């Protein structure tokens, strides 16, 4: 029976180690994602607001980040409303409603991307202490069983099981704390990024409204006056 108790405690410890590896992997991955996204959005918004007008902003190339993807969706929507001759439910919107709908959908996609992995952090943060407590309970049961079988409560008898129990509790807390802190931090970053995208989408709609929700086509180059026409002008002169 003592072997079963030892197996359960060790299984709890290995599970907590797996939780810890998953937690720190997600912390590193999500940290890189948020840092890179913040830098890309800052660079794009700076270039966007430095453009002469909305048409100049639409010509920005090789821009990355959630704000750039949101702007690209807006530009593609404005272009598609000008070029589309299809009449169906997808295009049964006025220009402003269609633009707002597509921008809102893109914001939701960006939020889902940022939310990926956060449920794992929340689950680990809430369950890791209980997994450690589970190992602690069986460690104490193992200690009591050793006392009963040896008819002695000496330190040699109880040190091993009690030590395993305390280690399980400590590791459970050590895994839960960074997981909860990381989850709260990334949720905060998600809310800030979502608010920035909402503000950018509102500004984009306002700018598009000033242009009638249309992008200006490139003006064709003026054709030079043919030589024959010039010669005719000279004759009639």
Note the pLDDT of residue 221.
Answer: 40
Per-residue pLDDT, averaged over 142-155, amounts to 68
Three-class DSSP category at 144: helix
User: Which of 19-33, 80-94, 97-111, 144-158 comes out lowest in average pLDDT?
Assistant: 80-94
Domain boundaries in the chain? 2-217
Cα 128 → chain centroid? 24
Note the pTM of the prediction, 2 decimals.
Answer: 0.78
User: Which of 61-75, 103-117, 177-191 comes out lowest in average pLDDT?
Assistant: 61-75
Best-predicted range by mean pLDDT among 55-59, 162-166, 204-208, 230-234?
A: 204-208
More confident residue, 208 or 157: 208
More confident residue, 216 or 74: 74
Note the pLDDT of residue 157.
Answer: 60
In this structure, are residues 191 and 115 in contact, taking their beta carbons and an 8 Å threshold? no
Note the pLDDT of residue 234.
Answer: 42
Phi/psi of residue 60, each to 5°? -65, 135
One DSSP character per residue, 145-174 reads HHHHHHT---HHHHHHHHHHHHHHHHHHHH
> In sequence order, what are the residues at sequence separation of 6 or more whose Cβ sits closer than 8 angstroms to the Cβ of residue 104?
201
Note the pLDDT of residue 30.
Answer: 96
pLDDT tens digits, one per residue of 121-134: 999 999 999 998 88
């Amino acid at each position: 029976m003592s072997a079963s108790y030892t197996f359960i405690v060790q299984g709890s410890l290995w599970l907590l180690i797996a939780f810890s590896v998953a937690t720190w992997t997600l912390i590193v991955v999500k940290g890189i994602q948020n840092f890179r996204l913040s830098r890309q959005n800052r660079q794009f918004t700076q270039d966007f607001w430095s453009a002469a007008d909305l048409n100049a902003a639409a010509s920005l190339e090789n821009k990355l980040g959630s704000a750039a993807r949101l702007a690209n969706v807006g530009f593609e929507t404005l272009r598609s409303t000008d070029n589309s001759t299809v009449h169906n439910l997808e295009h049964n919107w006025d220009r402003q409603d269609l633009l707002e709908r597509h921008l809102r959908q893109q914001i939701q996609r960006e939020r889902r991307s940022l939310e990926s992995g956060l449920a794992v952090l929340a689950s680990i943060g809430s369950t890791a202490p209980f997994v450690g407590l589970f190992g602690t309970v069986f460690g104490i049961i193992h200690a009591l069983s050793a006392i009963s079988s040896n008819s002695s409560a000496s330190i040699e008898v109880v040190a091993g099981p009690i030590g395993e129990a305390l280690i399980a509790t400590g590791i459970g807390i050590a895994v839960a704390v960074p997981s909860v802190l990381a989850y709260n931090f990334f949720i905060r970053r998600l809310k800030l990024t979502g608010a920035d995208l909402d503000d950018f989408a509102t500004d984009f709609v306002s700018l598009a409204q000033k242009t009638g929700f249309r992008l200006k086509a490139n003006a064709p180059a003026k054709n030079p006056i043919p030589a024959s026409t010039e010669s005719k002008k000279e004759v009639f002169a």
